[in-house]
Amino acid sequence: MHAAHKARFYTKMRSRPPFLRTSTWTVSWVLLHLLHSVSFWMHAAAPELQHWFPVGGQVGETLTVTSVGKNNDWPPKIWVSNPEVRFTAEETPNTWSVEIGKNIPPGSVLIRLFNKEGASQARWFLINETQSFRETEANHTMANANRVPIHRMIHGRLSERQDVDTYQVALKAGTTLIARMDAYVLGSTVDPLMRLLDADGRVLAINHDHYHLDPFITFDVSRSDHYYV
């Protein structure tokens, strides 16, 4: 039935008067022209930069990072507020090699992507004295928590609503744990919650908003053990 229907439609199209055939051709040409224009506009759009992953690195480090956002014309040009941090676009779209200078002070730099159509929003890239640690999924429970050495900058992702990332740290009595999350200050729309648990799962500290919408916890350790953030 479907093939017959198509055949009848084709027969009727062929039997149309000449002025209808001309009109159909004209409409088709306008549609193709419109689609071509839209396609060109999409191709020539300014680059987008939502965030970097990881969002920083250590002084003197060379690493590979990903720019998250739409870039139809790869690679875009890049502007960095400090020339001691050098970004080089790789062949794979949204992939960059980053060289962080040995003499740059810890802190942050601003970065934009741009082309002849415009520029992205400026995003922060963090420079830290300590080593970095990238989370590995799944790590949403104490049982599969990522084990992290102390004095680390952790790069994590909340990939879905209600996502939980869990990290295990070994702490000694008499020390103080300082745990800070940077999300809102980097331009993220996430509103995270941070908790500190002991090895038995008891909540020892909790914080929602400290710096704007970002949580911050300090905790004086009275017993040497594994703790979970």
Note the pLDDT tens digit of each residue in 158-197: 877 788 999 999 999 999 999 999 988 888 888 889 999 9
Q: Are residues 158 and 166 in contact, defined by beta-carbon separation less than 8 angstroms?
A: no
The answer, yes or no, to whether residue 14 has pLDDT greater than 80, is no
Q: Report yes or no: 50 and 69 within 8 Å, Cβ to Cβ.
A: yes
The winner for highest mean pLDDT among 36-45, 67-76, 220-229 is 220-229
Domain span at 93: 51-128
Q: What pLDDT sits at residue 21?
A: 43
> What would the pLDDT profile of 200-213 be if each residue is shown by its tens digit?
999 999 999 887 88
pTM: 0.75
Residues 142 and 191 grouped into a single domain? yes
Does 182 lie in the same domain as 168? yes
What is the structure's pLDDT at 157?
A: 86
Do 103 and 186 belong to one domain?
no
Q: Under the phi-then-psi rule, with left for phi > 0, alpha for psi from -120 to 50, and beta for the rest, what region is 140?
A: alpha
Closest C-alpha to 75, from 90, 61, 55, 85: 90
